[in-house]
A and B are shown apart, each in its own frame.
Chain A
Amino acid sequence: MDFALTDLQRSLREEVLALGKRFPLDWWAERDRAGEYPWEFVRACAERGWLGLVVPESYGGAGLGISEAAVLLHAVGETGAGLSGASAVHFYVFPITPVIRHGSEALKQDVLPRAAQGELLTAFGVTEPTAGTDTSRIETRAERQGGRWLINGQKVWTTNAQNAAKILLLTRTSPRDDAAPFEGMTLFLADLDRDACEVRRIEKLGRAAVDSNEVFIHDLVATDEQVVGEVGRGFQHLLDGLNPERIVIGMEACGIGRAALRLASAYARERVVFDRPIGANQAVAHPLARAWADLEAAELVGMKAAWLYDQGRPCGLEANTAKLLGADAGFAACDAALQAHGGFGYAREYHVERLWREVRLARIAPISQEMVLNFLAQRALNLPRSY
């Protein structure tokens, strides 16, 4: 067994941490306060080639694996950029993965080089208000009319829709069949035409810098070239990307936890109460030490899952475990860090509260902890399905 990062992974990590120094905590706090998309940071990531990390080299990317994506996004979290930074990178890298694997040559040529350069921001439109995790019940439909597709419906929690030029849309192209509920859905990489799509920003607990939206779609036109993969097989195409995304989300949460622990341990070394640093008190030190240990464990599963994926081996159990443990460990670390700061933990000036608010999302999205446990119960323990 070899647990060491490769030279490339270590170099990548070092570069991310170096960039982090140019985007300090106050910079992210201001993006969060103003709800401003972190364009400057994204451009710096694009210049460095990170946004094309998983895009094949023949389309202008680096053609690297999920292990590298995990290292990259973990390090982004570790800089203190939080989910504001991680999501900004994440949602360049992931919405286009179905195109890499299933898109037509014409679609790939059109989309991938621009995405790799950071010139194409894509909104991720899968979830719907009435369907939630029960994806087979989505109601947005695409109908063929006169040699093209007309799309109507509604999406919710659509990331990036304020600024995106394209939207990855999961639609129904034939009615739901109880015998095969996941058939009959089709994936489009459509133009986010503002005349046909009304986008409403959702005010939320955290990660204000990266917008989440409701999208109301009325007669959005899409062409055959914009269909990703096969008509009717959209859900299956999307599924390929779910494990990598879970791995990476778990690692993002761990990275954010690392940032929180760095802040908390620095504070606990310096803050003197009752004539000694508060870190000398075990009631302060132990929760931070426990959080550190939990992060170590979650990161190991995350990197194992990434390795399995990159080896082409099954990784569903590990990917879900990585997201479960990463989200919990990341949140627990931020919570312990907030507690260690006492009253100042509640003050924006100390930044931990932003990390705490942002990392909380990882326990809900892209899938809830409870649904992960359902999956593990069924697949790892062969227990009956509970829902």
Chain B
Amino acid sequence: MKIVVTVKQVPDPNATQGLESDNTIARDREVVLDPGDEYGIEEGLVLKEAQGGEVILVSMGPERARDAIRKGLSMGADRGILITDEQLAGADALLTAKALAAAIKAESPDLVICATESYDGSTGMVPPMLAELLDMPQLTTAKQVEVSGSKVTIHRQTEDGYQVVEAETPALVTVTAGIAEPRYASLKGIMAARSKEVKQVGLSDLGIEKGEAAETVLAVNDAEARQAGEVVEDDGSVGVEKIMAVLQTAKVV
């Protein structure tokens, strides 16, 4: 089974975040492999170990995004493709999806695994766009994935439980953070990664024109501050009743 996992390098979630003057995310700081992508890589590796095949990491980003791929290769993925091109700086979701789709199409994978959304942009738009461009069914927010023959079945996380969803491969699956505990890269894995291939391609290699941006961030505003809650003073006689009244109003009891 040929599995593609999309990976992205993002500003370190533990560091201070910032925006450029055009409201795109500032990337002039410490960067890491998107923690959400580690779950996708893990799931890809688990499926490969069960069924054989190959895990290919595909990333779009500047030259240094190679580090994000290297991390995945150290975990055990087989090879990587880095789409890097100056024209892609500040690319929106659609252009990102087009570039990824072109690189992935050339591999004809059985399964494409994405995180539900990236840590930094958090739009969650690239995976569905990618599925459309690849003409694949998309199975989203999987907390469990099984592949049997040409059928992929997932447990789709919902607010109150899960749905069982299946599709024919090739298909695109987005995975949640709960799907599996990402493995660490052992020293042997890190050593093995040194000889694994990372192919670098640009827009012209993929036959893509940059075109007009489909989205522009007009403004960025702070989230509304939380309102102060209601304070119930308890003199020892009325506290329980008041709390019960609040809970009943909220219809939680």
Contact = CB atoms under 8 A, between A and B. Distances in A.
Interface in B64-111: 67, 70-71, 74
A49 B186 contact: yes
Interface in A213-270: none
A47 B183 CA distance: 11
A8 interface: yes
Contacts of A52: 187
B187 A50 contact: yes
A8 B186 contact: no
Interface in B205-229: none
Interface in A1-32: 7-8, 10-12, 14-15, 18-19
Nearest to A7: B70
A62 B184 contact: no
A53 interface: yes
Contacts of A7: 70, 193-194
A8 B184 contact: no
8 contacts: A7-B70, A7-B194, A11-B71, A11-B193, A12-B187, A12-B190, A49-B188, A52-B187
Contacts of B32: 14
A62 B185 contact: no
A11 B188 contact: no
Interface in A48-75: 48-50, 52-53, 62, 64
B198 to A, nearest CB: 10
A49 B191 CA distance: 11
A62 B187 contact: yes
Given A7-B194, A8-B191, A8-B194, A47 B186 contact: yes
A48 B186 CA distance: 4
Per DSSP, chain B at the interface is: helix
Given A7-B70, A10-B67, A15 B194 contact: no
B188 A62 contact: yes
Given A7-B194, A8-B194, A14 B71 contact: yes
A50 B188 CA distance: 9
The size bracket of the interface on B is: 10 to 19
Nearest to B190: A11
Given A10-B67, A11-B70, A11-B71, A53 B187 contact: yes
Contacts of B188: 49, 62
A50 B193 CA distance: 16
Given A49-B187, A49-B188, 10 more contacts: A7-B70, A7-B193, A11-B70, A11-B190, A11-B193, A14-B71, A48-B185, A50-B187, A62-B187, A62-B188
A7 B71 CA distance: 10
A244 B48 CA distance: 41
Contacts of A15: 74, 184-185, 190
A294 to B, nearest CB: 22
A11 B185 contact: yes
B177 to A, nearest CB: 16
Report which residue of B32, B186, B187 has the largest number of chain A beta carbons within 10 angstroms of its beta carbon: B187
Interface of B: 32, 67, 70-71, 74, 184-188, 190-191, 193-194
A48 B193 CA distance: 15
**Which interface residue of A11, A14, A50 has the most chain B CB atoms within 10 A?**
A11
Contact of A18 (B184, B190, B191): B184
A304 B71 CA distance: 26
Nearest to A21: B14
Nearest to B193: A11
B188 to A, nearest CB: 5
A30 B188 CA distance: 32
Nearest to A62: B187
Nearest to A10: B67
Interface string A37-53: 00000000001111011
B200 to A, nearest CB: 15
A50 B184 CA distance: 12
Contacts of A18: 184
Contacts of A50: 187
Nearest to B185: A15
A89 to B, nearest CB: 12
A175 to B, nearest CB: 45
B72 to A, nearest CB: 11
Contact of A62 (B67, B71, B191): B191
A8 B188 CA distance: 10
A14 B67 CA distance: 11
A10 B185 CA distance: 12
A47 B188 CA distance: 10
A12 B185 CA distance: 8
A94 to B, nearest CB: 17
A59 to B, nearest CB: 14
Nearest to B14: A21
A152 B181 CA distance: 51
A212 to B, nearest CB: 28
B122 to A, nearest CB: 22
B71 A19 contact: no
A72 B185 CA distance: 14
B71 A48 contact: no
Contacts of B67: 10
Return the 8 tightest CB-CB contacts between A and B, nearest first.
A49-B187, A11-B190, A49-B186, A62-B187, A48-B186, A11-B74, A49-B188, A15-B185
Given A8-B190, A8-B194, A15-B190, A48 B184 contact: yes
Nearest to B187: A49
Nearest to B66: A7
B12 to A, nearest CB: 10
A47 B187 CA distance: 9
Nearest to A68: B187
Nearest to B182: A18
Contacts of A62: 187-188, 191
A22 B60 CA distance: 30
